[in-house]
Amino acid sequence: MKLSKVQWAVVLSIVPLLFTLGLKSLGTITFLEDKSLDFRFRYSNPAHPFTDKLAIVDIDETALSAYASTPLFGSWPWKRSVYRPILEYIAAGNPKLIMFDIMFFEQSEFDLPLIEATAELGNVSHAVNLNKEDLSPEEDKAYEEGVPENILNKAIQVENFQDLDLKTYNVLLHPATILGQITPSIHAVTYTPDNDGVARRGSLFFKYRDLLIPSLAFRGYDSQHGIESTSSNGSKIIIKSQDTSLSVPVEENGMFRLHYYDQKTLDNMPRYSISGVIDSIRAIEQGEVSDISELKVPPDTFRDKVVIIGTSAASTYDTRLTPYGDRPGYTFHAVFYSNLMENHILKMSPSWLGFLILLILVPSTVYIGLFSNHVNLRIGIPTAILFIYPILSFLIFRFDIHLPLGEFLIGYPIGFFGSLAYLTLTEGAEKRKYSKVLSNMVDPTIVSEALNDLEALKRGGEMQITAFFSDVAGFSNISEQLNSKDLAALLNEYLSAMTIILKENKGTLDKYIGDAVVGIFGAPIVRKEHFYEAAIASLDMIDKLEDLKKYWTANNLYIKDAQEMNVRIGLNTGLAKVGFMGTDNLASYTMMGDTVNLAARLEAAGKDYGVSILISENTNNLIKERMFTREMDAVRVKGKNEPVKLYELISRRGQTDPKVLESSALYEEGFKLYLKREWKNAISRFEEAINAKGKKDKAATMLIDRCQFYLANPPDESWDGVFTRTHK
């Protein structure tokens, strides 16, 4: 049936509206609105100043590197006894509250000094975390009864909180044992990202069963203003204090939308490296300063402020995805707290406004396009609206006012280009041509197979693979010393070389994570010897990096740290879920499962053992006939009970340095003696292994330390030689 122009006008007006409504019901419009707000935060920020009532004490990469080899601190996580002098030093500056963004949920032999400092100072708040888990009645009762009364007593009162439809949590993770029983204050660091992983919204408080637990930001605000009452009317939370009143608008489930500051402000948050605090403490103890103001971080820095002790070091794995990319986890809490303190609240438009605007603009544009007698008006006015409305939304955002863009960005172009197509195309000739996007979505090595059965790739499946993870040691330190141009050049040169080797050995590139490379061997194309190909690729990458370092040194490229950088690689073979995963516009062939997680943890563990390539027992069993490896240790990785044997991949068989052969044999003899509890003999073998190698052997040194510990503290009969790692 041939439609008249009026009928076409109705169709071209209704279709965009219905389509937008459909996407809105699916949450797509919300996703697009969030992304547009991220863009506005980056490029049209009101540029509010950050609150001056906050100080962040940052456990950064510098601090971890500086103290990793000291027995007082050790590798991360630090011994808890080190926090006492730090807390006392901060407290000497008379802060309002000292808040940990570090969780002490497990008991430690070094807890007592931290417990004593917490109890004595009185203005220390410890972190709790809340989860929602499916529990049996017995488990539920055990969790409920396991929470100390002191923790429960720290809950807050909020009038009419039922109007907020808060999510209910049934598991509360709290400071271990005595620390939880005596802490004078608690705060929740629970974090719920949006579906795309970005931290845009936060809760002022969390519902644990029938109690309300304050967030870090809320507890910090309370310490500054002394909250007298908190109430809700469903769309706002009203906080009345001794000196002020604050009205906080909330969205679904009582979530507050964070008002992010511009990038320069975030980069210059009041952050102080904890190494500066430690150096200041030592300077006082050793009488190195006569004027307290000469200290790196004087105590007065913290006067009348909320102090957050958090981490930014990569090895602590505490990051949040923000509109500006990955940031340290404390960024989320600091922004939330500053929003409350300074009343930096974005005036969000009602959810119906975007569709109402579309309801006016789309029919108007279609009418002009189809019925105007002037060609310039048909195109000029709709085109002007297409550009002016988004520009207006950016300009008004500078005044903390949100003008919805999601519905407009979807519905308006459809109405505009639909009417334009009607004018330029003959009836029945409207044919939409879709360009092939597969090559933009996946790595070239799997394009052909993806084309053969794309749906199978989307569905995914379980395959035997070797998971590959690599990461440059200390790259954060390198990146901080390079300008953006040199950093990009270094990364491009390094990643290009590693990716070429990965693909030459039939590996599939999963993703890049900064300087890290994640790869899959054995999928999607089945490879019988994927484990061997992964091992060859790993060794070739180590050799290639050595060539690159020589070239960079000879040509004086980048910096000395880059010319000496090392890479760590983790390999694990086993079953994993693999497939073509993601959205239609953003997808990749990727892998998931325990096999993958263990490979990632092996890469991270390589730092502890001082080795370049750390592999699992599964991989070792498959390659040991052709590869020379060294048995390193038996561990239980974090989150798993089953022990895992660790091996160092050293070289191809027949290509190993004689010194390394001798050293490895002595090390493995020492490890067998260690397992037999022959500590002194084991120490002797490990020392011989170091001497045979002729250079530092971090793994042997670590096992010597362990043997010396067990000599002084013999383990009980249940000891099975398996070392439990407390960090990833």
Nearest by Cα to 469 from 610, 612, 629 = 612
Q: What is the DSSP letter of 339?
A: H
How many Cα atoms are found within 13 Å in the side-chain-facing hemisphere of 455? 0
Report d(CA 216, CA 4) in Å as an integer.
62
* Cβ neighbours for 235, distance < 8 A, ≥ 6 positions apart: 249, 250
Give pLDDT, residue 436.
33
Helix (H) or strand (E) holding 33: helix 28-43
Cα dihedral 68, 599, 478, 100 in deg (nearest 10): -50
φ/ψ of 407, rounded to 5, equals -60, -40
Give pLDDT, residue 433.
27
Question: How far from 187 is each of 55, 311, 519, CA to CA, in Å?
Answer: 17, 17, 39
Give pLDDT, residue 639.
61
Average pLDDT over residues 239-267: 93
Report d(CA 631, CA 649) in Å as an integer.
9
Residue bearing the bigger pLDDT, 417 or 614: 614
Residues 641, 571 contacting (CB under 8 angstroms): no
Give pLDDT, residue 669.
93
- Please check the confidence at residue 346 and state whether its pLDDT lies above 80: yes
Please state, for a pLDDT cut of 70, what percent of the chain lies above it. 91
Residues 61, 476 contacting (CB under 8 angstroms): yes
Longest Cα–Cα distance of the chain, Å, equals 98
Residue type, position 645, single letter: K
> pLDDT tens for residues 220-240?
999 999 999 999 998 999 999
Q: Kindly report the average pLDDT of the chain as a whole number.
A: 88
Confidence of residue 458 (pLDDT cuts 50, 70, 90): low
- Please check the confidence at residue 437 and state whether its pLDDT lies above 60: no
Average pLDDT over residues 20-29: 88
Helix ranges (DSSP H) in 453-505 = 454-459, 475-481, 484-504
- Please check the confidence at residue 727 and state whether its pLDDT lies above 70: no
Give pLDDT, residue 234.
85
Residue 117: both structure tokens together: 């400092």
Cα dihedral 247, 248, 250, 253 in deg (nearest 10): -100
- Please check the confidence at residue 306 and state whether its pLDDT lies above 60: yes
Residue 486: both structure tokens together: 């040199």
Which range, 96-110, 422-436, 501-515, is most confident? 96-110
Residue bearing the bigger pLDDT, 613 or 510: 613
Average pLDDT over residues 292-320: 92
Give pLDDT, residue 39.
93
Say how many C-beta atoms besides its own lie within 10 A of residue 514's C-beta: 15
Report d(CA 351, CA 345) in Å as an integer.
17
Residues 60, 474 contacting (CB under 8 angstroms): no
- Reduce the secondary structure of 264-321 to three states and give it as a string: HHHHCCCEEEHHHHHHHHHHHHCCCCCCHHHCCCCHHHHCCCEEEEEECCHHHCCEEE
Confidence of residue 441 (pLDDT cuts 50, 70, 90): very low
- Please check the confidence at residue 486 and state whether its pLDDT lies above 60: yes
Residue 300: both structure tokens together: 């007065």
Confidence of residue 448 (pLDDT cuts 50, 70, 90): low
Residue 673: both structure tokens together: 């003696």
Report pTM.
Answer: 0.58
* Cβ neighbours for 398, distance < 8 A, ≥ 6 positions apart: 44, 45, 46
> pLDDT tens for residues 35-71?
999 999 999 999 999 999 999 999 999 899 888 888 8
Report d(CA 171, CA 506) in Å as an integer.
45
Give pLDDT, residue 435.
27
Confidence of residue 308 (pLDDT cuts 50, 70, 90): very high
Among 43-57, 63-77, 262-276, 544-558, the minimum mean pLDDT is found in 63-77
Among 2-6, 47-51, 260-264, 367-371, the minimum mean pLDDT is found in 2-6
3-state secondary structure of 245: strand
Q: How many residues comprise the chain?
A: 728
Average pLDDT over residues 137-160: 92
- For β-strands 723-724 and 627-636, DSSP reports them as parallel
Say how many C-beta atoms besides its own lie within 10 A of residue 45's C-beta: 18
